[in-house]
Each structure stands twice: as structure tokens, then as C-alpha cells.
Amino acid sequence: MTSEKVAKIGMFTALAMIFGYIETLIPLNFGVPGMKLGLSNIVTVTALYVMGAGPALAVTVLRIFLVSMTFGNMAALMYSLAGGLLSFLGMALLKKAKGFSVVGVSILGGALHNTGQLAVAMAVVENIRLASYLPILLIGGTATGFLIGLASARIILRLRKAEHA
């Protein structure tokens, strides 16, 4: 791994932490467990396109551990990890498939993020009934994924332009 790559991973992780922090400041409560704005996903999506799957995974895992340890707790870590990894896996696979843009990849990521968090919530309270939250979480994840995809697409375009300049 080159030092340039390490530096980039560090920079992306720092950015993701800032987004994660901003999100804790936004008093937006959807009233559904597991539902979040997922601002840090902008960084994961961007890292996936700019640096590839390996470094993007490193950024995602680092960000989740650091944000949970700084602003959250162990329970928060479990939800974030389940949501973050499931979402990352889906996005990395969809990016490899032909015919999807950043927005499509991000939409799947948003939907899977919420699904992963709900799955952990169901395991924690040992209640399968929580599945009734899934439709709302899927709709919410699609909407936030769409917006985050649009934002990420712009950032990716700028970064690529900057690299070639």
C-alpha cells in the first residue's frame, strides 16, 4: 500500500467522522428504530468510486469504530456495523454489475443500511414483529440513498477533474 493511499484513507475517514458528527447534531428523529440520514455514506460511496473496494471498506470500518467510540456506545457500534457492512457489500457488488450509476448503487446502500440495522434490532429485542418497520425503512433508505447518490456523483466528478488537472 502506498503512502498516498494511506493518506487518502485517513482523509476520507476523517471526513466520514465529521459527517457522522454532524448527523448526531441534527435533531431529526424519524420515530423508527434504525432510521438515519446516513450522511457518512456520501464518503463511503465516493471512496468506492475514487479508490476502489478495499480502501473504501477500510474507510467504512474505521469510521464506524471511531464514531461509535467517540459519540456513541457499544449498542450503537453493533447497529452501525451491521448496517454499514451489509450496505457496503451490496454497493460493492452492484458497482461491479453493469448498467448502474452512482445513484443506483447509493439507493441499494441506503436500503440495505436500514435493513441491517433493523436485523440487529430484531435480534436484540428477540422480536420478529419489528419486521413491520421494514417497509418504512426501505422507503426511507431509498429516498436518502437517492439524495446521497446525487451528492456523491457531484463530488466524484470534481475529484476526478482535480486529479486530471
Partner 1 sequence: MKKKDVILAACILAIALGGLLFMKTRDHQKGSALNVMVDGELYASYSLDEDRTIRLSLDGGENTFRIENGSVRMLSADCPDQYCVEHAAISADHETIVCLPHRLVLEIRGGEEKDVDA
DSSP state of 160: H
Q: Which of 59, 91, 111, 148 binds partner 1 (CB under 8 A)?
A: 111
Residue 105: which of 114, 116, 93, 115 has the closest Cα?
A: 93
| CB of 62 or CB of 138, closer to partner 1 | 138
Question: In which region does residue 31 sit, left (phi positive, over 0), alpha (psi from -120 to 50) or beta (all else)?
Answer: left
- 165 part of the interface to partner 1, by CB under 8 A: no
| CB of 31 or CB of 161, closer to partner 1 | 31
User: How far is it, in rounded angstroms, from Cα 53 to Cα 32?
Assistant: 30
CB of 164 to partner 1, least distance (A): 23
Residue 102: which of 52, 159, 149, 158 has the closest Cα?
A: 149
Grid cell, residue 83, equals: 448496517
Q: Scan residues 39-98 and list those touching partner 1 (CB under 8 A).
A: 73, 75, 94
What is the contact mask toward partner 1 in residues 115 to 134, using x (rule: CB under 8 A)? ------x--xxxx-xx-x-x
> What's phi and psi for 36, nearest 5 deg?
-135, 165
- 148 part of the interface to partner 1, by CB under 8 A: no
Which residues of the shown chain bind partner 1 in the complex (CB under 8 A)?
29, 31-33, 73, 75, 94, 99-101, 103-104, 107-108, 111, 121, 124-127, 129-130, 132, 134-136, 138-139, 141-142, 146
